[in-house]
Structure 1
Amino acid sequence: MSNENTGESRVTEINSVNDQYNVVSEGKAKVLMPKDNEVFYNPIQQFNRDMSIQAINSWRLVYNEEKLAKLKRKNPEAVLPEKDGKIKIMEALAASGLRSLRYAKEIDGVDYILANDLSEEAVDSIKRNAEYNSIPEILLKTNQGDAIDVLYAHRPPEKQFDVIDLDPYGSAAPFIDAAVQAVKSGGLLCVTCTDMAVLASNNHPETSYAKYGGVALRTEFCHELGLRLLIHALQSSATRYQRYIVPLLSCSIDFYIRVFIRVFDSPKKAKDAVVDTGLVFYCNGCSSFYTQPFGARTLTGNKNLKYSAAHGPVVGTNCLACKTKLTIGGPCWISSIQDHGFASSMYEAVKTDPSRFFTNKRMMGMLKVISEEQDVPFHYTLSELCSAVKATCPPILKITSAILNLGFKVSTAHSCMSSLKTNAPNEIIWDIMRAYVNSIGKSAKIVENSVPYHILSVPPRSDIDFSIHPEANPDSRKIKLVRFQLNPEKNWGPKSRHRAPKRKM
């Protein structure tokens, strides 16, 4: 099946071996899948696995450069010993082992991979598939056990993993506390959550708070808020152990979110969590939003950092633009969620070897958009802005140009089409929308004390310029990458939870 919207073709090779198994080919791995157990393999997750392989390979280069730089500070002639350049990976919930198989074959410099699963059937499958792929046990080790127990058992520094991959069915929340302790300082956590009904809506505020320590909202930026809630949960856990996190890549993909986070030891930098965490106030009337950090950080005269409670609130109970009551979301991570340099390095690696990944076009599109994305909390959408002032939608380049012409920055968000992600404050955005409405004429259907009435009752500033700015058209659009993904194929969502078949007596 092909899909021109995503730039991908579903041509996963599936051949019958015998009456019991099919062979599924993905990347450099071939996996024996039971014919009576179709939920064991979800081809839509190939993009997740492709991205993870490149992310780990790109992170490993940085990781080893840091190790070498540390050695060279003591001895400029030092070289990194081979054993120190190898990484240990744990896949905590391995299922069939396809991800671990691909990691063994497609990630450079692996010492060994521990593929763990609670299911005896899954562990048998991993062993069978490792043998089928001629992967030695010294490279791909298996373990049957509860993932939380196994992670906690690897808390001592000498037992920690360089990379831990959490890709559960549903929420990763139960595994976070153990995972942030079992990864080495400077190591990488790769975390997936598929419970988007909790993370990206306000249907279950009590559940999102119980799992992630923050309340989700139903907004146009709900997927970004889901990412920030997950990162907040990771940081909250890490801080308890005097560790801090650095997000490298945070992705909203299809029906799930995926983050790549580095974890470091530092009691001093762990204190920054109070500045990096905060609340979001959202207006359901006009889509304005405001963020409130919990703490402030200042540099004292002797160059030490001093932390204090933040002043607030940043806004009252009602929206400044349209007078609608505000809804509170969070606490969530309000600092950086993307490392643009890391995203660009991944993009260049994928671009250099276009035949390496089946989902190459989609990877390039997402990575390029992320590398362009303004790293500020949350975004607007053009449709929301125009709806709030009862106006037809102009070309998005017209609005982005107006923002750029005022000296602010703007981009799209990878998580939402027709989004506007900018460092311009709310009042600037509404001044631009007021000027736009003045240029086309106000709707006759606006009633007194309505949302558009309150917004348009304020005159716009006089220096709004809608002339097309030379930077309004991003490189990702100029080179015609697949920037936003539509449904990859029919019935593309998460499959049912795997259940082991009943054993014959």
Structure 2
Amino acid sequence: MSNSSEPLAGANLETSPAAGQTITHRGVKYTTIKEGRAHILVPPNAKTEVDPKSSSKDSGENSQNVFYNPIQQFNRDLSVLAIRAFAEDFSARRKERAQGKKKNQDRNAKKKKAKAEKRDQGSAVVVTEDLSHNKEETSATQSATRATDAAASSDQTATGAGEQGKDVPQPPIAESEGPGNAKKRKSEEINEHADEVKKQKIATNGLAGDEGVATTDEARDHTTTTGTSEAAEDNVLNPAKAAALPKGQRPDDKLRSHLRILDALSATGLRALRYASELPIPTHLVANDLVPAATNAIKLNVTHNRLTHAITATTSNAQAHMYSAAFAFNEHAYGRYDVIDLDPYGTAVPFIEPALLALNDNGLLCVTCTDAGVFNSMGYLEKTYSLYGGIPVKGFHAHEAGLRLILHSIATSAAKHGLSIEPLLSLSIDFYARVFVRVRRSPADVKFLASKTMIVHSCDSGCGSWALQPLARTSTQVGKKGGEFHKYHPALTAGERNCEHCGFKTHLAGPMWGGPLHNPWFIGRVLGLLPQVDDEVYQTKSRIEGMLSSALEELEVVSALNPVSGVDSESGAKAQQKQDRGGVNGKRSKDEEPTAEPASPKLTTGDEVPEAAHTNPDAKANNNDKGHEPILGLIPAVPPTIIDSHPFYFQPSALSGTIKCQAPPEAMIKGALRHMGYTATRTHAKPGMIKTDASWAVIWEVMREWVRQKAPVKDGSLKETSAGFRLLYPDGKKEAEGVDADGEEAEKMEVDGEEVKRRIGNGKGADDGKRRKVVFDDVLGRDRPTKRLVRYQVNPRANWGPMTRAKG
């Protein structure tokens, strides 16, 4: 967002837009604010920031009837890039469908041609046999006639002799039925084939080029200047006209080259303006708002930005608009959208179900929820349940739990209609949450939803740990013929009433989404776009890169998502990164030097050459021989069977507060976990947090070793009834030298040259009783990126945050 300090006066609505202009329209002076490539007109004395110490009466500002918050530019920059990445997938799917349709047409044409040739060959044989038979009969007749004429030659006159020389006519039946019918049938088949070709051309009307896709700025500009004047393109853009055509002439909506986007709660229309001006694919947008004043502002901004050919402003209830797009009579096939953006003031839950229904198959749903006080805290848990269908979490991991509650609400609403969701990107940003979800019509994938839904047993009043309880489980079975199929079972009870680590009571949270929060290929695609975009247009580019890099690193704990590290082997991302961190299985020998943690997983965009192409040099040639052209741009889907077995993150300083010791550095804890063979990364939601695949038993074992090695606890600082005391002394009493309080022996283990005692027995402190060497290696735990990344928000200005609700 940029704004000139000296407004440019003397401009009107037809003047080329520029930042800082003063536009006079119908006696009202507007100030122009530029964000990205879009310009919006702000009425005089409109609020663009809030000072809590002043009131609107004192400042002379008008009541806010159109909402604009410059703090959310990060949201809009990210949305443009996310939709741009999705547009590449959209175009690739159109190209794939066009190729598949052409392949089917060619196959059908070959079959029809072969059938016609076979029929013609059969007809030719019949005609040849008939002609031979007719010739034989003609010869016999002529011989008999000549013999008769020779016998009566004395009685014949000259005239009779002349008649003798006449040829006997051939039977016309065989000739007329043979080649004549074959030619007639062949002519009919040619006409039928021509009719089919004509219908296919009509069905594919509206395609851009031979491949049916357009992904460049030139294609978008050509569509905006000439597309609306063509009848075919107009039929595609206008659902009513397209549905009114005869069935054989209706365009194939799945071969449409342009992207259809709905900005359901548009306000000033800024999002629609940016999508229309910055996406490199032909777009048709609908900017909708309930308030007529907002719609008038949208029309002014669209006219001023010269985007009337691409954006249509409507005044209607967003829910009614989306329901009508999904179920309008004879128009629903052409009225649905490819992308729907929901950015309300507060929760987006009331708009989720109609938005899901109004989306095309493989459509993108963008959702913003700004009611963080509801889904991120326990202050209004009854409201959280009524909106999102689950109870929030109390603790440092509440931000990720809030994201999972939002995804749970979307997933359950979609499942009722046979729709499955795939989170492409889920972020907790400032005071709101932003999720990008791909919606697919797949009743088979919906069956996995119960297995990806979980309840959390949270020890919020004790040590802060949690235990997961899935609602169901899925198993893969092998059939009698070797094929695989899935079976669905109720899950066993996993949680307990009291925490297994500190003994305090646990509380329930959820149900909530238990699958991955992101798609690594989608994140890689967005990150791959950043070097191509202008820093002046996307002023939050550095923060987008930092936050998405952190989100990509979070997926390291999901072992099933091997492509995160760019490794397609069986070991996958986790094993490769452990090997990079030091030694086999993530454990470094004594003679090895510590190595720095790699910056981030290798970016994957979905366009990489498959692993088979690396091992088999003839794979590509064989692929081309079969006539299969590789489709670039498709974003692979995360398999629906994958669950996130290690959700949430923990805060080392909070754990040290529980046991009353000095807070350990983040690198120390991460280094200790990585030395033990576990994955430990940061999270995008909050700084100073660690996300790991280690169990809570291992985490508390590391914290006990931290106290023993680095930061002893002062005597008397922990009460015997406190959670910290039970965590430090799992058996309830302090250990004596060599023998514990119960008289059982204690073993000694060497850690960094020191002898440390640990109880031998069934104590809960150790994870399954195995001996573990804890080494606090800060070098191993330190992340050394190749470049400095802005991973977390810094205060952009004073009193920033959500502004007051728009009125009008």
Smaller-chain TM-score range? over 0.9
Q: Does 1:309 align with 2:483?
A: no
Q: Does 1:246 align with 2:447?
A: no
Q: Does 1:128 align with 2:300?
A: yes
Equivalent position to 1:410, from 680, 701, 706: 680
Equivalent position to 1:361, from 542, 545, 556: 542
Equivalent position to 2:402, from 226, 233, 254: 226
Asked if the contact 2:22/2:32 (under 8 Å) is kept, the reply is yes
- Name 2:513's counterpart in structure 1: 333
- Name 2:440's counterpart in structure 1: 264
Residues 130 and 219 (structure 1 numbering): CA distance in 2 closer, same or farther, change over 3 Å?
Answer: same
Asked if the contact 2:667/2:779 (under 8 Å) is kept, the reply is no
Residues 9 and 102 (structure 1 numbering): CA distance in 2 closer, same or farther, change over 3 Å?
Answer: closer
Q: Which has the larger share of helix?
A: 2
- Name 1:282's counterpart in structure 2: 458
Distance in 1 between residues matched to 2:688 and 2:453, nearest whole Å: 27
CA deviation after TM superposition for structure 1 residue 73, in Å: 4.7
The alignment's C-alpha RMSD in Å is 2.1
Q: Which runs of 5+ in 1 are unaligned?
A: 1-7, 501-505
Equivalent position to 2:665, from 374, 388, 395: 395
Q: Does 1:31 align with 2:36?
A: no
Distance in 2 between residues matched to 1:331 and 1:14, nearest whole Å: 49
Asked if the contact 1:221/1:416 (under 8 Å) is kept, the reply is no
Please give the secondary structure, in 2, of the residue aligned with 1:419: coil
Asked if the contact 1:405/1:469 (under 8 Å) is kept, the reply is no
Q: Which runs of 5+ in 2 are unaligned?
A: 6-18, 48-63, 107-209, 215-254, 327-331, 559-645, 731-757, 759-764
- Name 2:75's counterpart in structure 1: 48
Distance in 2 between residues matched to 1:351 and 1:382, nearest whole Å: 35
- Name 2:341's counterpart in structure 1: 165
Amino acid at match of 1:380: F
Distance in 2 between residues matched to 1:430 and 1:111, nearest whole Å: 53
Amino acid at match of 1:237: S
Equivalent position to 1:145, from 316, 328, 335: 316
Deviations along 1:255-312, whole A, 9 cap, x unmatched?
1000000000011101111011111111121110111111100112221111111111
Q: Does 1:17 align with 2:23?
A: yes
Asked if the contact 1:191/1:258 (under 8 Å) is kept, the reply is yes
Equivalent position to 1:322, from 487, 499, 502: 502
Residues 23 and 354 (structure 1 numbering): CA distance in 2 closer, same or farther, change over 3 Å?
Answer: closer
- Name 2:281's counterpart in structure 1: 109
Q: Does 1:452 align with 2:632?
A: no
CA deviation after TM superposition for structure 1 residue 465, in Å: 2.9
- Name 1:154's counterpart in structure 2: 325
Amino acid at match of 1:54: L
Residues 61 and 406 (structure 1 numbering): CA distance in 2 closer, same or farther, change over 3 Å?
Answer: same
CA deviation after TM superposition for structure 1 residue 464, in Å: 3.1
Q: Does 1:100 align with 2:284?
A: no
CA deviation after TM superposition for structure 1 residue 108, in Å: 2.0
Residues 359 and 107 (structure 1 numbering): CA distance in 2 closer, same or farther, change over 3 Å?
Answer: same
Amino acid at match of 1:59: F
Q: How does 1:189-208 map to 2 (within 5 A)?
A: 189-208=365-384
The count of aligned residue pairs is 490
Asked if the contact 1:351/1:364 (under 8 Å) is kept, the reply is no
Asked if the contact 2:92/2:213 (under 8 Å) is kept, the reply is no
Residues 484 and 64 (structure 1 numbering): CA distance in 2 closer, same or farther, change over 3 Å?
Answer: same
Asked if the contact 1:29/1:133 (under 8 Å) is kept, the reply is yes
Q: Which has the larger share of strand?
A: 1
Distance in 1 between residues matched to 2:267 and 2:547, nearest whole Å: 27
Residues 113 and 258 (structure 1 numbering): CA distance in 2 closer, same or farther, change over 3 Å?
Answer: same
Q: Could you say which structure has the larger radius of gyration?
A: 2
Equivalent position to 1:386, from 647, 656, 665: 656
Q: Which moved more, 1:197-206 or 1:17-26?
A: 17-26
Distance in 2 between residues matched to 1:217 and 1:110, nearest whole Å: 43
Please give the secondary structure, in 2, of the residue aligned with 1:154: helix
CA deviation after TM superposition for structure 1 residue 471, in Å: 5.7
Deviations along 1:432-479, whole A, 9 cap, x unmatched?
11111111323321111211111111355542332437663335x552
Q: Does 1:481 align with 2:789?
A: yes
Distance in 2 between residues matched to 1:470 and 1:271, nearest whole Å: 45
Asked if the contact 1:379/1:413 (under 8 Å) is kept, the reply is yes
Distance in 1 between residues matched to 2:94 and 2:699, nearest whole Å: 45
Asked if the contact 1:192/1:257 (under 8 Å) is kept, the reply is yes
CA deviation after TM superposition for structure 1 residue 115, in Å: 0.4
Residues 205 and 471 (structure 1 numbering): CA distance in 2 closer, same or farther, change over 3 Å?
Answer: same
CA deviation after TM superposition for structure 1 residue 381, in Å: 0.7
Amino acid at match of 1:34: P
- What is the TM-score when the length of structure 1 is the normalising length? 0.92
CA deviation after TM superposition for structure 1 residue 361, in Å: 1.2
Please give the secondary structure, in 1, of the residue aligned with 2:796: coil
Asked if the contact 1:399/1:466 (under 8 Å) is kept, the reply is no
- Name 2:695's counterpart in structure 1: 425
Distance in 1 between residues matched to 2:455 and 2:324, nearest whole Å: 35
Q: Which moved more, 1:431-440 or 1:90-99?
A: 431-440
Greater RCO structure (CA 8 Å; 6+ sep): 1
